[in-house]
Amino acid sequence: MTEHFMFIDGKDVSADSGASLTISNPATGRAIATVPDGGRVDVDKAVTAARTAFESGPWPRMSRTERAKVLLRAADALEVASESLFTLETQNNGRPITETRAQLSRVPEWFRYNAALLAAQREAVLPSDGPYLTYQKRTPLGVCGIITPFNHPALILARSLSAALATGNTVVIKPSELTPLTTLAIARIITDAGVPEGVVNVVTGGREAGIGLTEHPDVAKITLTGGTEAGRSAAVTTAARFARITAELGGKTPVIVFGDYDPKAAAEGAAFAAFVASGQSCVAGARFLVQRERYDEFVSALVARANAIRIGDPAQPETQIGPMISDLQRRKVLDYIEIGQQEGARLAAGGGIPDLPDDLRDGFFLQPTVFADASNSMRVAQEEIFGPVAVVVPFDTEAEAIEMANDNRFGLGAAVWTRDLARGHRVAASIESGMVWVNDHHRLEPSLPWGGIKESGTGKDAGTESFDDFTWIKTIVVRIADYDVDWYGTNAPERLN
Give the strand order in the sheet containing 346-349.
346-349, 369-372, 389-395, 285-291, 253-257, 413-417, 435-438
Among the listed ranges 4-13, 340-349, 476-485, which one has the minimum average pLDDT value? 476-485
12 and 36, same structural domain? yes
Beta bridge partner(s), residue 346: 372
The Cα 133–Cα 126 span in angstroms is 8
Instruction: Judge if 357 and 302 occupy the same domain.
Output: yes
Of 353, 391, 400, 349, nearest in space to 373 by CA:
391
In the three-class reduction of DSSP (H, G, I as helix; E, B as strand; rest coil), residue 347 is classed as strand
Inside any domain, residue 182: yes
How far is C-alpha 259 from the chain's CA centre? 32
Predicted confidence at residue 450, as pLDDT, reads 94
**Is residue 492 scored above 70 in pLDDT?**
no
Residues 129 and 44 in one domain: yes
Query: Does one domain contain both 238 and 328?
Result: no
pLDDT tens for each residue of 146-181 = 999 999 999 999 999 999 999 999 999 999 999 999
CA distance 286 to 262: 20
C-alpha R_g of the chain: 25
Domain check: are 462 and 403 in the same one? no
311: containing domain: 253-438
pLDDT confidence band for 270 (50 / 70 / 90): confident
| Phi, psi (deg, nearest 5) at residue 479 | -80, 125
Q: How many CA atoms lie within 13 A of 270 on its CB side?
A: 37
> Which of 248, 384, 432, 455 is labelled catalytic?
248
Average pLDDT over residues 385-398: 98
To the nearest whole percent, how much of the chain has pLDDT over 90?
Answer: 94
Task: Let me know whether 136 and 65 are in one domain.
Answer: yes
Q: The domain spanning residue 30 has which CATH number?
A: 3.40.605.10
pLDDT score, position 373 = 97
Q: What is the pLDDT of residues 398-413, one digit of tens each?
A: 999 999 999 999 999 9
pLDDT in tens, 29-77: 999 999 999 999 999 999 999 999 999 999 999 999 999 999 999 999 9
Is residue 282 annotated as a catalytic residue, yes or no? yes
Residue 378 falls within a domain, yes or no?
yes
In a domain? residue 16: yes
Residue 217 and residue 290 in one domain: no
Kindly state whether residues 72 and 196 are assigned to the same domain. yes
Whether the per-residue pLDDT at 197 is higher than 80: the answer is yes
Q: Are residues 275 and 214 in the same domain?
A: no
What average pLDDT does the segment 274-293 reach?
A: 96
Record the pTM: 0.95
pLDDT for the residue 378: 98
For residues 190 and 224, membership in a common domain is answered with yes
Which pLDDT does position 497 carry in this prediction?
52
Is the pLDDT confidence value at 483 over 90? no
Strands of 211-306, DSSP E: 219-225, 244-248, 253-257, 285-291
What number of residues does the chain have?
497
- 485 located within any domain: no
pLDDT per position as a tens digit, 316-373: 999 999 999 999 999 999 999 999 999 999 999 999 999 999 999 999 999 999 999 9
Measure the CA–CA gap between 288 and 394, rounded to whole angstroms: 8
In a domain, 371, yes or no: yes
**pLDDT at residue number 494:** 62
Report whether pLDDT(493) > 80. Answer: no
SS3 call for 41: helix
| pLDDT at position 485 | 78
Per-residue model confidence as pLDDT tens digits over 399-457:
999 999 999 999 999 999 999 999 999 999 999 999 999 999 988 999 999 999 999 99
CATH number for 320 = 3.40.309.10
Total number of domains constituting the chain: 2
Domain assignment present for 210: yes
Predicted confidence at residue 314, as pLDDT, reads: 97
Q: Average pLDDT over the chain, rounded to whole?
A: 96
Confirm if 146 and 118 have CB atoms less than 8 A apart. no
Pseudo-torsion of CA 289, 294, 300, 305, nearest 10°?
A: -60
pLDDT at residue 192 greater than cutoff 70: yes
103, 216: one domain: yes
248: annotated active-site residue: yes
Give DSSP secondary structure letters for 92-155: HH---HHHHHHHHTTHHHHHHHHHHHHHH----EE--SSSEEEEEEEEE-SEEEEE--SSSHHH
Q: Is 491 part of any domain?
A: no
In-domain check, residue 69? yes
Q: What pLDDT, on the 0 to 100 scale, is given for residue 488?
A: 81
Q: Are residues 47 and 191 in the same domain?
A: yes
In Å, how far are 227, 228, 410 from 233, measured between CA atoms? 10, 9, 17
Q: Which residue in the list 282, 384, 432, 455 is annotated as catalytic?
A: 282
Q: Is 379 exposed, middle or buried (0-12, 13-18, 19+ CB in 10 A)?
A: middle
| Domain stops at, among 411, 438, 465 | 438
